Amino acid sequence: MSTGFGGPVDDELYRTVADRLRAAGPTGVLPIVQSGDPVLRTPVAPYTGQLGDLLPRLAEVMRRTMHAAPGVGLAATQVGIGLALAVVEDRGNETDPRERTPLPFRLLVNPAYEPVEEEDGGAPRRVPFFEGCLSVEGWHALVARHHRVRLTAQDVDGAPVDEVLTGWPARIIQHETDHLHGELYLDHAVPRSLVSNANLVSLWGGAPDPAPVAAALGFEVP
């Protein structure tokens, strides 16, 4: 059996994922793997069609799981599946200084990114903001990410995706794609910036500006 992605269905993997989706029950929500599980540290296999007609169903269950958490992105490794798949979606917030523009829902297959120059032709740059992860419950840390990236991937039907994203959407893409390489956001964070979710809100108002946190906790903003 072949698929639009060019590769055959992996019958054993198909059955494993189908069983996992059935276990999600009527809510269609899967448990999210937490830090310490080896699956989060294992680079994934490229998706070539291993799941056949099961792929749209997996995308929907990942979407429901992401929303229930709640979050704005979820990689397949976070539900224990070692394939290059991730879902993203963010309604955005026009008043958010982190350039949180809307990011429509999509399944990204085999995503990759690279930094690109600024719209005014300036050199690629990084911006530091606090970031959390559904697989590291309860914590945030400061991470400097590329401000603009070129995303290349495929969609659920195998059609190519090639676009430039800026600000918070670019951060989401980098975070989820890094998961597929066995990386967590903490690998790229300023260690001294680690703060509980509760303190990030109660002490720093969500820290859209990391400078006051850096001054109080004694670290430099990268």
- Interval 71-80: pLDDT, tens: 999 999 999 9
**176: annotated active-site residue:** yes
What are the domain boundaries of the chain? 11-127+146-187
- Interval 24-72: pLDDT, tens: 999 999 999 999 999 999 999 999 999 999 999 999 999 999 999 999 9
CA distance 109 to 48: 9
- The architecture CATH gives domain 11-127+146-187: Alpha-Beta Complex (3.90)
Q: State the catalytic residue, choosing from 99, 114, 176, 220.
A: 176
Quick check: 124 and 118 in contact, CB under 8 A?
yes
Residue 140 assigned ligand-binding role: no
Residue 147 assigned ligand-binding role: no
What percent of the chain lies above the pLDDT cut of 70?
98
- Interval 168-179: pLDDT, tens: 999 999 999 999
Count of Cβ atoms closer than 10 Å to residue 19 Cβ:
9
pTM: 0.95
- Give residues with Cβ within 8 angstroms of 97, minimum separation 6: 208, 209
> What's residue 58's pLDDT?
97
